[in-house]
Amino acid sequence: MEITRENIDELNAVIKVDIKKDDYNPKVEKILKDYRKTANIPGFRKGHVPMGMVKKQYGQAVLVDEVNKLLQESLNNYITEEKLEVLGNPLPKDQESFDWEQDDYSFEFELGLSPKFDVDLNTKKPITQYQIVADEEMIDNQIKTIQKQYGKLVAKEEVEEGDVVAGTFKNEEEGIENTTTLPLEKLKGKRNLNKFVGAKVGDTVSLKTKSLFEDDHNLVEFLKVEHDKAHELDVEVSFEITEVNQQELAELDQELFDKLFGEGNVKTVTELKEKIKEDAENQFKQQSDQQLLNDITERLIETTSFNLPGDFLQKWIQVSGENQLTAEEAKEEYEKSEKGLRFQLIEGKLVQENDLQVKFEEIKEITRDRIKMQMAQFGQTDPSEKDLEDITARVLSNQDEVKKLSEQVMNQKLLDFYKEKANLDKKEMTYENFVKEVYK
């Protein structure tokens, strides 16, 4: 057997595999002899079927199967030994005059080669690394939310600003009839609020749906209208008040602190604010880290220039799925996936050159830590080593879970690497300003 390669250009090559009869025939003959021993053919005792008949019935199928196995194995070995970095899989070239009746065969395969390029994290324009802080206003709002959540409603007869009213929204023509509980703070503007203030249980208030709430999506929640309809809805609705309640806030005392954070962990309002700030900023860190990953990904794709074997990849996409695509469909799929492929190559180069490989022990460690955290939430703060090992083993027996964990570990490795090596500009801001700047 002989394998040769012709490099068409830096990104495309053709491999030719010449297979002689001596390469495959011993294996084919052995398989046919084994078939002869077990073949059940009417008129012949088992093991006494003439070899000519066995070859006639099974010969070509066995030949094709063994040649294809030999071809695939030799092709894979060649790519490995030559250290060829290929994209997709080798594609067999059409051979119109191919004949299985010959003794010797020649096959040709197209290869798409991975491009050569360098990755520079030290970009001229720095990438923003957001540090989101919880400001006093956010902390105070969170405390008020907690006080409402753990407070109580006190029934009353007449509506005042800040109350919560229960009742039914109605509009017969639009098919609106929904009983709900409405915090008056959800209303938009003094005009809407003033229609409620001074009203009593049993009164009916008339309202316009347009500009009823600060957010039109509240119409979906309180009136139960369809989402697509909410943005354009401009009708008059009635609201019959069936109940009026004053929101009595929970006291900021030790009983509340213990409910929130466990006995004795928070003892003062100052400590409460510090705890809320810490918890909020931990959540913000996850969001800012994800934004940093997204921004660096976009910047690397933008600044790392290289060509791809586009024509080859479109051919490969066309035939590699469950259903063969048309050339136009394959081109469309390639254009949609090109950006992702580029980053896969960039990421792979960074991982290889900087030894960022994920080790199984790292996956096992993060799994154990998460299991301990989950058990602690249910009061098991000191699980035995055997319990931890058993649960960890069960989790890691699921290959989908291992893959997901591996991706998470790799993302963290890349994030740490970026923070150390990339040209970053740290920018501190509140969450509200972060949302305005990033999501505009």
- Hey, what domains does the chain have and what are their CATH numbers? 2-113 (3.30.70.1050), 152-248 (3.10.50), 268-439 (1.10.3120)
Q: Strand pairing partners for 127?
A: 424
Tell me, what's the pLDDT at 379?
Answer: 74
Strand 105-113 versus strand 12-19 pairing type: antiparallel
Residues paired with 92 in a beta bridge? 109
Residue 160 backbone dihedrals phi, psi, to 5 degrees = -130, 160
Residue 236 pLDDT: 95
- Which candidate, 196, 199, 169, 198, places its Cα nearest to that of 181? 169
d(CA 153, CA 245): 5
Q: Do 298 and 97 contact (CB within 8 A), yes or no?
A: no
pLDDT the model gives residue 43: 73
Task: Return the beta strands (E) in 51-104 as ranges.
Answer: 86-92
CB 92 within 8 A of CB 107: yes
Cβ neighbours of residue 45 closer than 8 Å, sequence gap 6 or more: none
- The rounded distance, in Å, linking the Cα atoms of 421 and 241 is 62
pLDDT, tens digit only, all 440 positions of the chain: 899 999 999 999 999 999 999 999 999 989 988 888 877 777 777 777 788 888 888 889 999 999 999 999 999 999 999 999 999 999 999 887 888 888 999 999 999 999 999 999 988 899 999 999 999 999 999 999 999 899 998 999 999 999 999 999 999 999 999 999 999 999 999 999 999 999 999 999 999 999 999 888 899 999 999 988 888 899 999 999 999 999 899 999 999 999 998 889 899 999 999 999 999 999 999 999 999 999 999 999 999 999 999 999 999 999 988 889 999 999 999 999 999 999 999 999 999 999 999 999 999 999 999 998 888 877 777 888 888 899 999 999 999 999 999 999 999 999 999 999 999 999 999 999 999 999 87
DSSP-derived letter for residue 185 is G
Q: Specify the DSSP class assigned to residue 186.
A: G
The sign of the torsion formed by the CA atoms of 224, 226, 231, 233 equals: negative
The C-alpha atoms of residue 399 and residue 396 are separated, in whole angstroms, by 7
Q: What are phi and psi of 117, to 5 degrees?
A: -160, 165
Would the pTM count as exceeding 0.85?
no
